[in-house]
Structure 1
């Protein structure tokens, strides 16, 4: 089997083809089919050059939050070329309940910039959240950010590198902001950093699919007045301009707005539950369950494949390893240790792992 499968003329064929070749050469023994299966499955060369599975290994996690400003997802867009006034990054924060977004352009993605952003754009505007979700990138995992989060008592949940679905809300926001920005830059020209506030305005005042309401209305209790309503007055703008309002009337209307805000949030929560249930059902149908326990041997997808960059060679393996599972985390990611070198690898989502047979 070694010579036929991996010899000078061997093609590292699959189990069925190896079995048929053995038969065609006139070989046979009672356990030959099982032996061919085990031999191919344990071939190191075949394992590290195998194709990637595109089926998710775990069920979709429900990331809904119980109230506004409970959880924020932070992420970076970049590096962006060409730069805009020296800015090459956009730091974004998405609130999980209302879908409100804060974003700033950055010249450097540093821990200091992230810490200042958390304090100025989140804590000072919306209060201290319960939790923040980021990836494991250096701008988010450092002493400055840890000190800021610990100082406010904010829990830090980290997703794994090169698996943006682990911070899916922030990733979805990034795609939308980039799409809006790209259209604005194309339509109105100019540096993208100039259009970022307009892109945020457009995002905040448009109804989101998951909630059915705009983030602005869920935060402030009423819809924002848009520029077009000034040019072509709508009923609410005309009414305000034509009538004289006393302080009590204004106060009464504002109370009604705030009461309506609670109703909107309850309705948004109901719609989000339905949205997540529908999405999860569709997603979970594609899941190929796969879980590892401490001590299991695994291969991980090569870094150049995960990052979708050019590999060291056209013939480079798509998988690296073997590694042993050192720690198992409930959110679907693992800490690995190299079997050969004994070094600890970065945490990785189970999507990028497969069993190793030896």
Structure 2
């Protein structure tokens, strides 16, 4: 876990701290006490009138100012260092509860203390509490508006992901699945492996993508070691394939791949029953089903968008369709139907592209209605969500939810930021999504 910046000696900026600002404030009690004791008022008649009305709520006992309370005993009026001591003790002292600003203010009042900005100061103090910030609940609300990715023609852009680990299957103990999905047709290519190396990724793309569907314009993937290796980057660059990686710890950045994984898993579950270890045998059947089932976004099957005609599925063999009865014996009719399909394929793809756009817009409207944008500027300090790999050893459920602070050093795009570790004064290798960040107050 990261240290408190004050403990690590980190430079968190030249802005005066809350404590320094409090100590620099003029003593608000002086004017009231001077009026009560000596009748001194400001020269401005309106300020004088306001002071007279305000002073009626106060009294002096043993040279100390007290405020008359509507709900209890007189309240001791405090200022400066005494304010900070009271807030510190009741917020994080031996009987402190680390409660929110308003709750802390009410508690302070019940303990018999008062100053005019008690609620605002308690809210600021609670917001800047390092422990409260690190142990604050994880934010699940989306931080940025949806940004959809589409492709204008088949097999131009593919999403890639690794699914697993799964129950070992077959003699080779297959546990992982490499999955690629075309953004336009929703065609899925996948293969099972015991372990997935960068060499296997390159071989799969060459055999199953390039040799079957042509060289793609772009492949979108996560930050798996196989995908960001120098070897794989060179493989893509040598074929002029654009390689785009999503931000770490943010699977929504590669949503097409996540949707394909979900579809494959759902189909495998329904086919396997109790024979979980046979999932690798059933994978080709699942892929065939996915390719011949209309997708919600396009209202067409991936097969028809790819080849211009629907595939012959087992149902047409069991209960023969016209294609199985008339076309084989009427060559002229068969050729005419094939030409009609080919003439209409461009229009069919255009309609599918429009449907994809409409579907994405509808999905974006629904998603964006839940968004509470979190924008950061260069120089801002933030905390980063704690994940399994970065959590405090042996802390369990008592560990912090956030770590840091980190400084924003670059805005890559909306919702994506480059960070610098403040304690180590070292830039982070990968950019981070705003979904995993929250502002740090100091």
> If the length of structure 1 is used for normalisation, what is the TM-score?
0.94
Taking the aligned partners of 1:301 and 1:28, their CA distance within structure 2 comes to 37
1:281 to 365, 368, 380: 365
Q: Which residue of 1 aligns with 2:265?
A: 178
1:342 aligns to 2:429 (yes or no) = no
C-alpha distance in 1, partners of 2:165/2:432? 22
Offset, 1:240: 2.0
Partner of 2:338: 254
Q: Matches of 1:218 and 1:154 in 2, distance apart?
A: 23
CA distance in 2, matches of 1:268, 1:312: 51
> What does 1:319-358 align with in structure 2 at a 5 Å threshold?
319-330=402-413, 332-345=415-428, 346-358=430-442
Aligned mates of 1:139, 1:82 — CA distance in 2: 21
Match of 1:264 in 2: 348
Residue correspondences, number: 354
Unmatched 5+ stretches in structure 2? 1-86
Question: Does residue 1:318 correspond to 2:404, yes or no?
Answer: no
State the Cα deviation string for residues 64-112 of structure 1 (Å, max 9, x = none): 2222112100000011123443211100000001101100111212111
Q: Is the 8 A contact 2:168 2:174 kept in 1?
A: no
Q: By how many angstroms is 1:7 displaced?
A: 0.3
Q: Secondary structure at the match of 1:337?
A: strand
Q: Is the 8 A contact 2:160 2:180 kept in 1?
A: yes
Q: Specify which of 291, 296, 305 is matched with residue 380 of structure 2.
A: 296
Q: Does 1:76 align with 2:165?
A: no
Q: Distance in 2 between matches of 1:190 and 1:10?
A: 54
Aligned to 2:32: none
Match of 1:133 among 220, 234, 247: 220
The alpha-carbon deviation at position 335 of structure 1 amounts to 2.2
Name the residue aligned to 1:24: 110
What's 1:114 paired with? 201
Q: What runs of 5+ residues in structure 1 fail to find an aligned partner?
A: none
1:304-324 Cα offsets, whole Å, 9 max, x none, are 2999xx974220001111111
Deviation at 1:341, TM superposition (A): 1.7
Question: Which string of whole-angstrom CA distances, capped at 9 and with x for unpartnered residues, describes residues 211-232 of structure 1?
Answer: 0001000000011010121111
Q: CA deviation at 1:160?
A: 1.8
How far has the Cα of 1:273 moved from its partner?
Answer: 1.4
- Counterpart CA distance in 1 for 2:99 and 2:360 is 42
C-alpha root-mean-square deviation of aligned residues, in Å? 2.0
Q: Is the 8 A contact 1:162 1:306 kept in 2?
A: no
8 Å contact from structure 1 (residues 137, 161) kept in 2: no
Q: 1:231-242 maps to which residues of 2 (within 5 A)?
A: 231-241=318-328
- Which deviates further from its counterpart, 249-258 or 98-107? 249-258
**What is the rounded CA distance, in whole Å, between the counterparts of 1:223 and 1:187 in structure 2?**
33
Aligned partners of 1:4 and 1:10 also within 8 Å: yes
Are 1:42 and 2:125 an aligned pair?
no
Matched-pair contact (CA < 8 Å) for 1:304–1:311: no
Contact 2:327/2:334 (<8 A) preserved: no
Equivalent position of 1:194 in the other structure: 281
In structure 2, distance between residues paired with 1:321 and 1:276: 36
The structure with the larger Rg is 2
The CA distance in 2 between the partners of 1:97 and 1:131, in whole Å, is: 12
Counterpart of 2:137 (choices 51, 58, 79) is: 51
Question: How much has 1:198 moved relative to structure 2?
Answer: 0.6
Matched, 1:7 2:93: yes
Q: Deviations over 1:121-178 (max 9, x none)?
A: 1111111111110001111110121011101111111112221110000100000011
Give the C-alpha shift of residue 251 in structure 1.
Answer: 4.2
Partner of 2:3: none
In 1, are the aligned partners of 2:222 and 2:248 still within 8 Å (CA)? yes
| Contact 1:206 1:214 (C-alpha < 8 Å) held by counterparts | yes
* Contact preservation (8 Å) 2:144, 2:414: no
Given the two structures, how large is their TM-score scaled by the length of structure 2?
A: 0.76
Distance 1:99 1:119, change over 3 A: same
| Offset, 1:244 | 3.0
Deviation at 1:327, TM superposition (A): 2.4
Report the secondary structure of 1:181's partner residue.
helix
**Alpha-carbon distance between aligned partners in 2 of 1:227 and 1:188, rounded to the nearest angstrom:** 24
Partner residue in 2 for 1:207: 294
Would the aligned equivalents of 2:169 and 2:277 in 1 still touch at CA under 8 Å?
A: no
